[in-house]
Chains A and B, each alone.
Chain A
Amino acid sequence: MQLDFKHKQSAHCENGVSSNLFAYYGIKLSEPMIFGIGSGLFFSYLPFLKVNHIPVTSFRPLPGMIFKRAARRLGFKMEKKRFSNPNQAMSELDEKLKEGIPVGMLVGVYNLTYFPKPYRFHFNAHNLVVYGKEKDNYLISDPIMETPTSLTSKELRKVRYAKGVFAPKGHMYWTVKAPQEIDLAKAITQGIKQTAKDMLTIPIPLVGVKGIKYLAKQLRKYPKKLGNRKASQYLGQIVRSQEEIGTGGAGFRYIYAAFLQEASDILKQPFLRDLSVEMTAIGDLWRDFAVETARIIKKRSEVENPYDGVADMLVVIAEKEKQIFQKLIILKDA
C-alpha cells in the first residue's frame, strides 16, 4: 500500500516534512516559504542544557514550532498524538495509512539505519513522513535524504521510542482538514513579525540578538574557565549546530535570505529584497566564524587571543541582525 506522496529533498527536516505534507493537499510552497511563515529563524544559548556534556546552542525554535505555526497561518487543521503504548502507536499509524493519510512523525536519529553515521548522535527531534507500507516495510520520506527510503516495523518502532532529551514517545501528526484557499501575504507578514519580535524583544538574555551577545561574552572566558581542550569542544559545538545537516548553511541565515527574497515578490515590497542581500552577508559572517573556529580547533589560528577574535565576530553579527529585524518588526500588516 502506497500513497501518491511526492518526496522532495530539503535542507531542514521540519521545513521539508511540512512542505511535502502541505503539497500532498495541493498547497505547494517552497522550503524557505514554510521556514519564514513558520518563524523558523531564532537563536538561543542554553548553558544549563547539556548534550554530550556540552551546552546547547540552537539557531531555531523548539522542535515542532515551525510546523505548528506554518500550519496555523496557512489554515491547516492538524492533529497530533503521543502514545504510552508502542503497539498502539504502530497500529494507529497503520490505520491512518489505510485511510489514505500520510503521517508525519518525530524520531531519534541515533538508530536511524539509513542516516549518515557521522551525524548519528542522540538527537530526538528529527521529522519524517510515512507514506505507505509494503509487508513489514514502511515507506519513508525523509527530507534530508535525496531519495525516499524505508524502515522495517522493528526499526521504525525503535526510533519512535528513542530516549533522552525530547524523547518522541511515538509522537505523530497528520492533516485533518486542508484549506481551500490561503492568504499567503498575511501568513508571510505574521511569520516575519514574529521572528523579528522573538529576535529582539524576549526579555531573556540567552535568546535572540541578546543571546548572541551573551554567548560572545562567555566565549571570551572559555579558555581560562575550561582549559583549551574543553574550550575548543564548546566552540566546536556552536559551529556544529550552525552547520548541521538541515540548516542550509550558516545557521539557517541563507534559507531566511531566500525567504525574504520570495516574500519581496509576493508582498511587492522591494526593500525586502535588499534585506535579503543583507541577510546573505550575515550568513557569510557566520561562515567566517565557522572557518576561524575550525582554525582554533586545529591550533592554526594566527590571532593572538583567538577566543576574543571569534567573540568580536559574534558581536558584529548580533549588531547586524539587530538592524535587520528592527526594519522587519515595523512591517505593515498585509
Chain B
Amino acid sequence: MKKEDVPQDDANMMEGSRESCYAVDENGNYTTVKSVGWEPKNIVMQDAWDTVNERIEEVKQLVIDGELSPIAYYMEKNLMDTKILASYVGIWRFIVKKHLKMKGFTKLTDKVLNKYADTFDITLETLKNKELK
C-alpha cells in the first residue's frame, strides 16, 4: 500500500485517536501513517456491534416476558458469556446458568446479588428492581 493510499474513513471507531499504519513512500521505503479508519473495517466492526446489540434486545424482551433474569441481560450488555461471568463472580458456571432464569433469580440472597452487581458495575437496587438500563 502506498502512503497516499492509506485510508482515512472516519466512523469514529477510534474516538478521536488515530492508529499507526505501515505504507511505502514515493521511493518505495516503508514509513508509518496515522489513520482514523478504513471503510471495510468500519463495516465489519459495526456489524459485530449490531450483532451484539441485537442479542441484547432479544434478551431484554425475554426478561420483560419474565423468562430470563436481569443477570442474563447485564451479562449480554457486558459482552460476557457464562464462562467469563462465572469467573468474575466466582460462582460455578452451571449455577450461574440457573441464575439467568427468572425462577433462579428470585431466590437469590443479597450477598450473591451483590457479587453480580459489583461485576456489572450497577447498584444492588438496580438489579433487585429488575431495572434494565
- Interface residues of chain A, those whose CB is within 8 Å of chain B, are 9-11, 32, 52-53, 110, 116-119, 121-122, 144-146, 163-164, 167, 232-233, 236-237, 239-240, 243, 245-246, 248-250, 254-255, 257-258, 261-262, 276-277, 280, 283-284, 287, 290-291, 293-294, 297-298
Chain A, residue nearest B80 (CB)? A122
Selected contact of B15 from candidates A118, A233, A293, CB within 8 Å: A118
Cα A233 to Cα B45 in complex, Å, equals 10
Of the stretches B21-29, B94-102, B106-114, B122-130, the one at the interface is: B21-29
Chain A, residue nearest B83 (CB)? A164
Asked if B132 is an interface residue, CB under 8 A from chain A, the answer is: no
* Inter-subunit contact B1/A249 (CB<8 Å): yes
Cα A245 to Cα B38 in complex, Å, equals 11
Cα A31 to Cα B45 in complex, Å, equals 26
Number of interface residues of B (CB under 8 A): 38
Minimum CB–CB distance for A303 against chain B, Å = 15
Selected contact of A287 from candidates B1, B12, B19, CB within 8 Å: B1
* Inter-subunit contact A258/B41 (CB<8 Å): no
Q: Inside 8 A of A291's CB, which chain B residues have their CB? A: 40
* Inter-subunit contact A254/B21 (CB<8 Å): yes
* Inter-subunit contact A163/B88 (CB<8 Å): yes
Q: Select the residue from B1, B24, B44, B83 with max chain A CB neighbours within 10 A.
A: B44
**Provided the pairs A232-B47, A236-B48 are in contact, do residues A11 and B30 lie with their beta carbons within 8 angstroms?**
no
Asked if B32 is an interface residue, CB under 8 A from chain A, the answer is: yes
- Interface residues of chain B, those whose CB is within 8 Å of chain A, are 1, 12-15, 17-24, 28-30, 32, 34, 38-41, 43-45, 47-49, 51-52, 78-81, 83-84, 87-88
Q: Inside 8 A of B19's CB, which chain A residues have their CB? A: 11, 144, 245-246
Minimum CB–CB distance for B13 against chain A, Å = 5
Q: Inside 8 A of B17's CB, which chain A residues have their CB? A: 116, 145-146
> Closest 4 interchain pairs by CB?
A294-B40, A258-B30, A254-B22, A163-B87
